[in-house]
Structure 1
Amino acid sequence: MLSFASVFSLVLVTAAIGVQAETHTVHFTNNCGFGTPTLIQGGRVLSTGGDFTSNGPLTAAIAYLQTGSCGFNGEGCTLVETTLVNPTSPGSGSSTDLSLIPPHAFSVTSGFGYFNGCNGAGADCTNANCPTAFHNSNDNSVQVACQADNVNLAITFCD
């Protein structure tokens, strides 16, 4: 049988864990006047323009502006790739990048920036030659990392 002190301690630990639950929000701004912001993870559409909040890590998600000419996985369009996760060791946190690796191609000006941590860290792509995007799988220097807990991501099109 548990004592009052044991039950009280368990309640405190449970409350502390609940307060520290991991969450991440992806926010879209579409200044293009056309298209639908799209967020996909594992073949599932998570958002078509509204804020999406994950209760836990958001891993291997992609985002793009569906202009009518993009494939389901953003083929033919500028792609934002992201993993938002609280770091468990140095260098193991969030990472986001822009991709123009074929079959992806420049479609509209696209950019991203972290908020609620790592503010100011991000990248923009304004043309097909943008140096801040992957053009081949070896362009690892274009990944933008963030080592803050519960960081959020703002994605903007046509800004």
Structure 2
Amino acid sequence: METTTFNKVKEDDAEILSSWTYPPPYDFYNHAQTEDRKQEWLTGNYFCIYKQAEMIGFFCYGESARVPVNNCLLYIDEYIDIGLGMRPDLTGKGGGKSFLTSILMEIERLFPNTPIRLTVASFNKRAIHLYEKLGFIIQHQFQRKSTTFYIMVRKK
């Protein structure tokens, strides 16, 4: 059985994560390699996900997982927010369910009995389909710049 581990993002990890590039339309999720972004990786609630010794993705929770919006009321309640990203060369190959399941198990370990929420760009049908398969439903939608986002929740 493959072991999944979660480690707080370190300096080298931040460099690797910032270098990941996704093909269109997922290039929306590419991260700028700036000092501010690096500091966000290092000081926010970001964790690298490893299968054996190989980094396969990351997740974050809390404020780090929220899309900044003018209407902050969208994020006020008892949910724990999560964000995630799979290494670009692993996406679209059927590994998303086990990837997300391992994250959900870790979040449930860290925050027992807390409902989980995530925010996703509406064009990302592949991710939305996966989230729905794992029990998430669309609760709200909002616009930020030219992108529509869905806030999805998973209740216990």
- TM-score, normalised on structure 1? 0.31
Larger radius of gyration: 1
More helix by share: 2
Return the structure number with greater relative CO, CA threshold 8 A, min gap 6: 1
